[in-house]
């Protein structure tokens, strides 16, 4: 049976995210309490705006060295979102493309056909699935890792995605 994105999706109500119009200070406080290093940003209509990281807060401060506490309190989280960083994928993306995207991002934001944020697919979820359902396919890789003294080995791809 071929899986679809909904098999891996952590839906919006179970996902940590920030609203784009939160102030810098509010966003930073919530961000720190969550313990995450990156989080999606949405508007009040639910549209995905992008993602922010811990570094985005730091870079904003270092890029604006003369900003005062009063000025920074007027900065909205949406101003920290970088163009093209962690782009969302449509819910009907192919599994191959989803897996490829997860190689470059800790999570992949998912939107519907109106760009409404519906959740994320984490790299951890994908790896856990592959480890559970394709563990026999991983044995050549595990054996190669255990042979510390062995020379380079050619390994075949473990998964064929449609």
pLDDT tens digit sequence for 77-136? 999 999 999 999 999 999 889 988 998 899 999 999 999 999 999 999 888 888 887 665
Which residues, 6+ apart, have CB-to-CB distance to 99 below 8 Å? 126, 159, 161
Supply the pLDDT for residue 130: 81
Q: What is the value of pTM for the model shown?
A: 0.78
Q: How far apart are CA 10 and CA 16, in angstroms?
A: 10
User: Is residue 119 helix, strand or coil?
Assistant: strand
Q: Are the C-beta atoms of 80 and 22 separated by less than 8 Å? A: no
Burial class (CB in 10 A: 0-12, 13-18, 19+), 33: exposed
Strand-strand pairing, 10-11 and 117-122: antiparallel
Mean pLDDT, rounded, for 16-33? 92
In the predicted structure, residue 64 carries a pLDDT above the cut 70: yes
Q: How far apart are CA 109 and CA 52, in angstroms?
A: 12
> What single string gives the DSSP state of each residue in 41-90?
EE-TT-BEEEEEEHHHHHHHHHH-TT--HHHHTT-BGGGGPPTTSS--EE
Q: Which CATH architecture has domain 5-128?
A: Roll (3.10)
């Amino acid at each position: 049976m071929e899986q679809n994105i909904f098999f891996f999706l952590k839906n919006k109500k179970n996902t940590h995210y920030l609203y784009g119009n939160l102030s810098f200070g509010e966003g930073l406080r919530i961000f720190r309490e969550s313990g995450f290093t990156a989080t999606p940003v949405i508007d009040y209509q639910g549209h995905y705006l992008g993602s922010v990281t811990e570094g985005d807060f730091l870079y904003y401060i270092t890029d604006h060295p003369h900003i005062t506490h009063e000025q920074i309190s007027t900065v909205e989280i949406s101003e920290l979102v970088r163009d093209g960083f962690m782009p969302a994928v449509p819910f009907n993306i192919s599994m191959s493309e989803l897996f490829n995207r997860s190689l470059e991002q800790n999570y992949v934001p998912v939107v519907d056909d109106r760009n409404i944020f519906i959740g994320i697919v984490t790299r951890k979820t994908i790896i856990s699935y592959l480890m559970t359902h394709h563990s026999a396919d991983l044995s050549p890789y595990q054996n190669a890792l255990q042979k510390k003294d062995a020379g380079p080995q050619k390994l075949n791809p473990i998964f064929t995605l449609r």
